[in-house]
Amino acid sequence: MSQPGWYPDPYGTGSLRWWDGENWTERLNPEPSRPPRLRLPAQEQRPRDEIEDTHYAAPHLQQPTWDAGPVAQPLDVTVRRLHLYADDRFVAYGSASLAWPHVEWVAYWAAERPAGYGQGARTQWIFQAGRFPFRGGPRVEVVIERDAVSANPGPDGEPEHVWGRLIQLCQEHAERRLVAELAGRVRGGESVDVAQGLTVHPGGVRGNRVSLSWSSISGATVDGGKVWIQQAGSGAPVLYVPQQNPNAVLIPSLVFQLRH
């Protein structure tokens, strides 16, 4: 993909994203009504001593866009010499596989790893989906790095594109159900633990010694490796959970559904 233009967003937003001929930009078409705070992995080279172990926000809108987004096509590539396949029924990587209706938690993020242990600085795109218990239950985990993907020439050979396709399939076939199930339990009067650090209940949310009612919450965003709950009025983030925690990426959509 060398020609600049609008292409289906590899980050799974359901919009088109502008490809400038070398890199994905932050321009979306159509623009979401409330754009996410999204940091794309930096393309430029930085001095090695300036590179930190930085986590990037996975692409995830404040408002659900599943109904508006196109159906994702199956993904069939080789990553680290293991077969990765995902479609509308299941995801499989190597010897591990999981049907989307059986998925109970998901997590995905990108991280820039500093140089060390004989390796240069590198970006990793991580995707996980599994069943509880989080430590010990069945899961599919894919870690994608530059030059680790083998596929036919084209976008499916690009690690960010593969990662985005996985996320899109997960959003369409697992996240919509998970968010609906969690929201239904809360509306039914339950207090639900989400992302190992946030309790969502009929009156609002609480975590890390902070409690917020629904009327005091303006929304949730993903930024800097954390999912932030924002306070109404100021819009300041006052409560967060790490993005790598199971189902943390569901929080923006869950908060949106329960606030409306």
Instruction: State the pLDDT at residue 129.
Output: 98
Mean pLDDT of 63-73: 54
Residue with the larger pLDDT of the pair 237 and 53: 237
* 209: confidence class by pLDDT, cuts 50, 70, 90: confident
β 226-231/82-86 pair status: unpaired
Mean pLDDT for all residues in the chain: 80
Mean pLDDT of 178-204: 96
β 5-8/16-19 pair status: antiparallel
DSSP class of residue 168? H
Q: In this model, does residue 190 exceed pLDDT 90?
A: yes
Q: Which range among 32-36, 59-63, 217-221 has the greatest average pLDDT?
A: 217-221
- Distance (Å, whole) CA 155 – CA 152: 9
* Ordered structural domains, the chain, with CATH: 51-178 (no CATH), 180-259 (2.30.29)
Residue with the larger pLDDT of the pair 161 and 118: 161
Q: In this model, does residue 255 exceed pLDDT 90?
A: yes
Sheet strand arrangement including 96-99: 96-99, 90-93, 82-86, 75-79, 149-150
48-52, 168-172, 203-207: which range is least confident on average?
A: 48-52
Instruction: State the pLDDT at residue 12.
Output: 54
Instruction: State the pLDDT at residue 40.
Output: 39
pLDDT for 235-254, tens place per residue? 678 899 999 999 999 999 99
Q: Are 98 and 131 in contact (CB under 8 A)?
A: yes
Q: Are 132 and 105 in contact (CB under 8 A)?
A: yes
Q: In this model, does residue 257 exceed pLDDT 70?
A: yes
Give pTM, 2 decimals: 0.75
pLDDT for 137-179, tens place per residue? 999 999 999 888 886 555 667 888 899 999 999 999 999 999 9
The backbone torsions φ and ψ at residue 63, rounded to the nearest 5 degrees and listed phi first, read: -110, 140
SS3 79: strand
Nearest 10 degrees: CA dihedral of 113, 243, 109, 95? 100
Which ranges constitute the DSSP H helices of the chain? 159-170, 176-187, 251-259
Q: In this model, does residue 187 exceed pLDDT 60?
A: yes
Q: Are 84 and 92 in contact (CB under 8 A)?
A: yes
Residue with the larger pLDDT of the pair 223 and 89: 89
**Three-class SS string for 106-159?**
EEEEEEEECCECCECCEEEEEEEEECCCCCCCCEEEEEEECCCEECCCCHHHCH
Instruction: State the pLDDT at residue 185.
Output: 97
* 14: confidence class by pLDDT, cuts 50, 70, 90: low
5-9, 188-192, 196-200, 217-221: which range is least confident on average?
A: 5-9
